[in-house]
Amino acid sequence: MYRTGLKGRVLPLSRLLILILLVAALCGGLLVGYAGCGTENTTVETAQGQVKGAVDDNGLYVFKGIPYAKPPEGDLRFKAPQPPEPWDDTFEALDFGPIAMQPTDEYEATELPQSEDCLTLNIWTPGIDDAGRPVMVWIHGGGWTNGSGRDPWYDGAAFAQRGDVVLVTINYRLGAFGWLYLGDIGSSGYAESGNLGLLDQAAALEWVRDNIAGFGGDPHKVTVFGESAGSMSVGCLLGMPAAKGLFQQAIEESGALNTLRNPAYAEGITQKLMAKAGVGDVEGLLSLTSEELLQAEEDLMGDEFLTDTLFGPVVDGTVLPEPPLHAIANGSAAGIPLLIGTNLDEVRLWSLYIPGLLEFSIKADLQAMPWLKGAITGTLEDIVASYESRRPEASEGDIAMAIGTDILFRVPAIRLAEAQAKNQPRTWMYLFTWPSTVDELGSCHAVELPFVFNNLGAEGVADILGGDPPQELADMMQDTWIAFARNGDPNNVMLPDWPSYEVGARATMQLDVQPLLVNDPYGADRQVWDGVPFDSVVPSL
């Protein structure tokens, strides 16, 4: 029998009832279950309450803007992060939270909403189940003053889908909000103020430890990784007591431990910023609106050449009891496998910011870094002559770029690898060598990021990589990072055999379309700096 007038448009009633019963059973409970069929369960119970996410076009579960700490506003400005307040209703984790307060930068997405209430994280996961997948927590870069976990370059979908891992990105406080040292002018309650960004990162990792199992992740298989200031942050976490036990593996991309600040220098920056803001104490700083404090930060940055050294971690004796590189050499991260590396032409990226940089003399660059000038052996002329002897066709600018890359990125990363390899044989070193086709950027700073995240089509990527970047390199890079997250070892079928790093052979994987294992690449350049520890112990900056 058919419903009147609907013949040909509906099933016979008997078949329809059978189909309803079958579908209801699949949905988990006869006709009662049928009422909810077709709607994915995207709700997870956390320590603060239920969190509701969404399912994307790839079938991944995505949660955005989850608070991992109380908003650091009002009296909590310049204070260590506090646990988030619980909520009664289900938290709708469907939109990214505001980014941290940060200056305008034509290369950053600063048109996005900003707020001091920025301590949130985002999760991409293949399933909200008990699979216990490896977890990867990303710490963004941006010179301690810019960036966010919602940047399209850091979209975690490819990691979650290709690697069956749980990918987490976080925000942390930046600039004056995250790194303004008040230890000498405030009460004891502000002793940690110069390292709030690090404490935010540790708080996010605590949240991951306590909650990630509900998102299909293994809280005992967490890899923390970052680039630039994010990589330097990872280095600090390796030597920071408050972060001990919060992650089991670490990856550092283009950032080590050579530009941290001492209290005297950080105090000087605080005094300069207060002068810009027109205040003379902590109470005055607290009285400023978010916008006023940010404006003082921008005004200060406008007066300085090396803005990347104004803010960032402080070896304060509290959060960082000793220089992190020393702590690592003494075994603070002995149980943590490490993958670390740099790009061949790091400092060429800054030619986008500084006109004429590619024609600069290295002597001018070194004059801006007196801490390095005081630490090197030999003369600047000797150093330049050494590099020139191996590059007879190079211009003065090319020599400056090579030396600048080594003193700011490559050799400091080698120092960190040396320190960790003393206590942890599962330490690997890479050198990314694929060159961008844009201008003369070469293998510049940040060029590896779209390959690591396998997001070659993300907004702005072509501006750095040029057109038609090799997809096979993105697959290889991401598979290498995934292999490390899974096994604590980057070896995989897309690479030649990759021995761990030790100071004899110094095995280094050159990552390019055709990867190549090289022992001690550019070793003669490395030896020029043998007397320089790059540990931030002498940072007049």
Q: Is 228 a catalytic residue?
A: yes
Give residues with Cβ within 8 angstroms of 224, minimum separation 6: 136, 137, 139, 205, 234, 237, 246, 247, 249, 250, 251
Count Cα neighbours of 118 within 13 Å in the Cβ-side half-sphere: 29
Catalytic pick among 148, 193, 228, 436: 228
Catalytic pick among 108, 116, 252, 445: 445
* Backbone phi and psi for residue 431, each to the nearest 5 degrees, phi listed first: -135, 115
518 DSSP β-pair partners: 508
> Angle CA(418)–CA(229)–CA(317) in degrees, nearest 5?
70
| Nearest to 480, CA basis, from 224, 233, 162, 235 | 162
Q: Is 220 a catalytic residue?
A: no
Q: Is-contact 102 62, C-beta < 8 A? A: no
- CA gap 489, 424 in Å, rounded: 12
The neighbour count for residue 78, using CB atoms within 10 Å, is: 23
Taken in order 351, 355, 358, 360, is the CA torsion positive or negative? negative
The torsion angle over the Cα atoms of residues 73, 74, 76 and 79, rounded to 10 degrees, is 90
Catalytic pick among 116, 346, 418, 448: 346
In the block, which residue shows the tokens 């690898």? 417
The torsion angle over the Cα atoms of residues 51, 79, 299 and 100, rounded to 10 degrees, is -10
What's the token pair of residue 84? 């988030």
| Nearest to 348, CA basis, from 411, 429, 431, 439 | 439
- CA gap 392, 261 in Å, rounded: 37
Q: Is-contact 156 482, C-beta < 8 A? A: no
What's the token pair of residue 27? 């949905």
DSSP strand pairing (120-125 vs 166-170)? antiparallel
Q: Is 445 a catalytic residue?
A: yes
| Nearest to 264, CA basis, from 533, 539, 536, 78 | 539
- CA gap 98, 117 in Å, rounded: 7
- CA gap 344, 404 in Å, rounded: 11
In the block, which residue shows the tokens 């803007």? 65
DSSP strand pairing (338-343 vs 217-227)? unpaired
In the block, which residue shows the tokens 């960790």? 420
- CA gap 13, 1 in Å, rounded: 7
Q: Which residues are catalytic?
A: 228, 346, 445
